[in-house]
Amino acid sequence: MTTAIWVPGGSGQVGTELARACPPGNVLVAPGSHEVDITDPQATAAALGRFAAAARELGLPPVVVNAAAYTDADAAETDERRAFRVNALGAGQLAEACREHDVPLIHLSTDYVFDGTAGEPYEASAPPNPLNAYGRTKLAGERAVLGSGADAWVVRTAWVYSTHSVNFVRTMARLEREREEVRVVDDQTGSPTSAADLASSLLSLAGRVAGGAGPAERLLHYVNTGRASWYEFARAVFEHLGADPRRVRPCTSAEFGRPAPRPAYSVLGVGAWTASGLPAPRPWPAALPEVTAALRAERAGEDRAAQRA
């Protein structure tokens, strides 16, 4: 169903892909944090009210997809209050604004709500137990959204990458150019997920929700299927970039030493998503080449420009 979608956090990785993926006939407005700050409840509610009124005037049902978040897991370890303000309080206040204006909400969350002790994919019904500050604030946000009384869905995703923004695939592409050898942790396994796939799937969900046919399950997982360690994923990135994957060397999380502890295993199961009749995600190895092909083309353009200079 055609709809009008409002995306706070619109200049981030997922927000950008949502804007790219929005099909003709729909309206998508993706304000950045300088335009809509979800930690300012009055301004957010007022902006949402204006958007919803304009959408209804156009005959389009409004839906909010919240892509706004404090996403730096390592920084959150020493800045949990700020992460909480955005990820928990801000998300909850946005949900209240959605309730006030009778606009359905799709809110994004993370695999880092799990502790990583499972041996099989975490379905949406699995009990969360975050290991780090970011995960704690995101879990609090999920609860605030689902407890707000808004017509809301929470979609957890994981290990998101794209052709733009800061993400693992782009970091590997940069390091491939800068270093002979790249060390990557091999003791964390998860679900690499294309932001483009996620965005088009969220838009399918938004269409369902706008048509009053949102899934009965309010907590869903969406990831590309399959699993990989960061090391395995990095090797695949190198291969698709035409580089020798043996230049990627495994290491442990302890050796890498990042401030935020990460779950050793955070593969997400998409059972609730597919049981809701939403389009089944494809395996991650099928999605990755689209992004690496774009990065290769970008590199070729940069190389040509450098030769001309």
Q: Which two tokens stand for residue 208?
A: 């369902």
**CA gap 112, 45 in Å, rounded:** 29
Q: Which two tokens stand for residue 230?
A: 């960061």
The reply to whether 94 sits near ligand NAP by the rule CB under 6 A is no
- The count of other CB atoms within 10 Å of the CB of residue 273 is 25
Q: Which two tokens stand for residue 114?
A: 């799990």
CB nearer ligand NAP, residue 10 or residue 207:
10
The reply to whether 281 sits near ligand NAP by the rule CB under 6 A is no
**CA gap 16, 32 in Å, rounded:** 10
CB nearer ligand NAP, residue 32 or residue 49:
32
Q: Which of 29, 60, 158, 205 binds ligand NAP (CB under 6 A)?
A: 158
Q: Which residue is nearest to ligand NAP (CB)?
A: 12
SS3 state of residue 128: coil
Token match 């200079």: residue? 309
Whether 27 and 60 have beta carbons less than 8 Å apart is answered as yes
**Least distance (Å) from ligand NAP to the CB of residue 283?**
18
Q: Which of 6, 51, 153, 159 binds ligand NAP (CB under 6 A)?
A: 159
The reply to whether 171 sits near ligand NAP by the rule CB under 6 A is no
Q: Which of 134, 222, 231, 265 is catalytic?
A: 134
Is there a catalytic annotation at residue 222?
Answer: no
The reply to whether 69 sits near ligand NAP by the rule CB under 6 A is yes
Distances (CA, A) of 123 to 39, 156, 206: 30, 10, 21
The reply to whether 14 sits near ligand NAP by the rule CB under 6 A is yes
The reply to whether 8 sits near ligand NAP by the rule CB under 6 A is yes
Whether 188 and 233 have beta carbons less than 8 Å apart is answered as no
The reply to whether 205 sits near ligand NAP by the rule CB under 6 A is no
The reply to whether 67 sits near ligand NAP by the rule CB under 6 A is yes
The reply to whether 9 sits near ligand NAP by the rule CB under 6 A is yes
**Least distance (Å) from ligand NAP to the CB of residue 112?**
7
CB nearer ligand NAP, residue 6 or residue 70:
70
Token match 């290991």: residue? 131
Query: Could you give the angle at the alpha carbon of 135 between the alpha carbons of 262 and 48, nearest 5°?
Result: 140
**CA gap 61, 210 in Å, rounded:** 6
Residue ranges that bind ligand NAP, judged by CB under 6 A: 8-9, 11-15, 32-33, 36-39, 67-71, 86, 90, 108, 110-111, 138, 157-160, 165
Please give the positions annotated as active site.
Answer: 134
